[in-house]
Amino acid sequence: MNLQEALKKKIGFGTAPLGNMFRDVPEEEAINTIQSAWDHGIRYFDTAPFYGFGLAEMRLEKVLSAYPREEYVLSSKVGRIVSEETEDKEGLFEHARKNKIIHDYTEDGTLKSIEDSLTRLKTDYLDFVFVHDISPDFHGDEWITKFDEARKGAFRTLSRLRDEGVIKSWGLGVNTTTPIELAMQLEDDVRPDLCLSATQYTLMQHEGALEKMMPLAQRKNMEFVIGSPYNSGALLGGEHFDYAEITDDKKAHVEKLRKVADEHNVSLKAAALQFSTAHPAVKAVIPGSTRPGRIKEDLAAMDEQIPQAFWKDLLDRKLISAKAPLPK
């Protein structure tokens, strides 16, 4: 199955929450959520070794292994190797497996990461591979050093695998725009063609992406998968924004958006998904969830009729950028 067939509705399923992000998700609930995604026609699934330190990939396998591999599209990530050594955890995945993570963006590390993901997923191949979190939010001042390691290692390795037809596409999977902008300006033989941009092209947060990343992507013929379209649930009333505790100013931002949505009888979920997928460079949006019922909601939100007056109001109140392509 190709990307176009898998993404007829431009929506896939992100599995970060199924790695026990923020809470201990019961196994049955996680499996039922994945099954609900499949039963409602989702055929693109994104995962990563980082999500629960292997847990999300293992849970995904329990459902997808029941179906022919050619009937769905699968992406995972490289840059972190899940070791057998254990350690105490805190932060995003404190409730996940205790396996220690080793950061490795070299060629050997990239091939090892892919091999391990294939083992956990019990599959023969990945369709897309994203180089995960070579970005200031994870590596601080060391991110450029990590980026250079990836440029010489992961980028060249994944470009070769793409040229050989082993994978269809590769790119970066990050929560900031600068690494993607930098990667798009590299020489052709190590340039990504499909990147996963999380949190940066959303209804709440998109001005920075529209300044350089999105126009450059169109010039370079690069496409995007958009992750975390609700900014870690903030847009839907959650307690986190971009994987951290939400601040009062972000809550106020959400309330301004909600006020306009209520005036037009529009759901913010629909506005968020349709906004992110309206940009011509975006191939798919991948909301994640641990609740089976949310899958049906997401699909309905993609089909919800949103009046143009709603978007005009957001523009007039300067709640969205005038540079943003809007849903028709």
Structure tokens at 227: 């992750």
Select which of 9, 46, 89, 104 is catalytic: 46
Closest CA to 199 of 231, 225, 151: 231
Annotated active-site residue 67? The verdict is no
Please identify which of the residues 77, 146, 168, 269 carries the catalytic annotation. 77
For CA atoms 89, 142, 57, 176, the dihedral sign is positive
Compute the Cα dihedral for 31, 37, 41, 43 and give only its sign: negative
**Rounded Cα–Cα distance for residues 169 and 194 (Å):** 6
In total, the chain counts a number of residues equal to: 328
H or E element at residue 117: helix 107-121
Per the CB < 8 A criterion, the answer to whether 242 and 254 are in contact is no
Alpha carbon distance, N-terminus to C-terminus of the chain: 28
Cα separation, 284 vs 226, in Å, equals 6
Q: Give the DSSP per-residue string, 148-205.
A: HHHHHTHHHHHHHHHHTTSSSEEEEEESSSHHHHHHHTS-GGG--SEEEEESSSSSSS
Is residue 77 annotated as part of the catalytic site, yes or no?
yes
* Closest C-alpha among 211, 206, 179, 215 to residue 195: 179
| Cα distance between residue 247 and residue 285, in whole Å | 25
The one catalytic residue in 51, 105, 230, 243 is: 51
Establish whether 51 is a catalytic residue. yes
69 residue type, one letter: R
DSSP class of 42: -
DSSP of 74-109? EEEEESEEEEEEE----GGGTTS--EEEEE--SHHH
Q: Which two tokens stand for residue 40?
A: 């409602």
Give catalytic residue positions: 46, 51, 77
